[in-house]
Amino acid sequence: MKPKAIDLFSGCGGLTLGLKQAGFRVIGAVEIDPLAVETYRTNHKRVIVWERDITKIPAVEVMRRLKLKPGQLDLLAGCPPCQGFSTMTTLNGRIGQDQRNDLVFQYLRFVRAMRPKAVMLENVPKLAKNWRSKRLLAELKKLGYKTQHGILDAADYGVPQRRRRFILVGGRGKIIPFGRSTAVKCTVRKAFAKLGKESKTDPLHKLPENRSAAVRERIRATPKDGGSRLDLGLQFQLNCHRKCNGFKDVYGRMAWDEVSPTITGGCFNPSKGRFLHPTKNRNISMREAALLQSFPRSYFFPVKRGKTSVAQMIGNALPPEFIRRHASEIFKYLLTVKN
């Protein structure tokens, strides 16, 4: 029988997919965003989903619905919303003001109630140095969990993208190792090779672009296969770019034989980062963005609300392959645990 898992703050389902690929049966999920829930339910039809604010959900309600008693759940996994810990938020001095920062304690509340055999939490690197992570680790220790945590790059775990993340894994009474890294990175070329002929009719791949003539000219002038706005002559550079020494990836192209930069909610717009196709004179498509997040080509994303909403879901998602590798070690640990 497959070990059971619950996904808190599930988003569009990247974490759930990675857990399934590692051999888990995900039985429940919690997510507040309606579009993310629609996407999740379409791809994970057998999972019971609470489309609600997690702060309003008693853990006992979830346990009763899923017929769980304390100690029976194999894995409680989650990724509390991390915008409050993002680099840009920190630069603007607002890290202590975002109420989403405290959602890590909602995860802890569910751990206390459910007493799962193993725990997994993922977030942005900034959480590692925040007082909330110290409290979280201390409370998990009191509950009998032996944990390890670190800041890992998803590119070292089979994801065709640079993406540094804080990850914590632990078991009751035993440390669980991180997943196995890879010596050979998956590149943009390998990821895009999965598009296939179906891309011609894929709504996610065919979402139109609406660029001004000046922007289209700037894109055409950017050198292929890794070119940057810094390679352009002054006539193609915006005044703000000439005056700014940072944000050098803006209007940059990805390189075929390297991993991509971090896929963010702004990945639909070349003014938000290095999101131009390596050789074609366009931004990467949303299907290509999903592939760089390690979603399979068949994963459904609704396009009814436009490119911005899709990009937000994809950019906020956990890369399934990154999760699969770490969850596989948790799976091995659970095989040694007595029920």
Q: For 232, what's the count of Cα atoms within 13 Å in the CB-facing half-sphere?
A: 23
Q: How far apart are CA 114 and CA 106, in angstroms?
A: 12
The string of DSSP codes covering 122-135 is: EE-GGGGGSHHHHH
Alpha helices by DSSP H, listed for the chain, are 14-21, 34-43, 59-65, 87-91, 104-114, 131-142, 188-192, 213-221, 239-243, 286-292, 307-316, 320-335
Query: What is the CA angle 248-253-258, rounded to 5?
Result: 100
Query: What is the CA angle 338-44-51, rounded to 5?
Result: 95
Q: How far apart are CA 25 and CA 1, in angstroms?
A: 9
Catalytic choice (82, 186, 240, 267) = 82
Examine the residue annotation and report whether 82 is marked as an active-site residue of this protein. Answer: yes
Closest CA to 225 of 266, 268, 281, 265: 281
- What is the set of active-site residues? 82
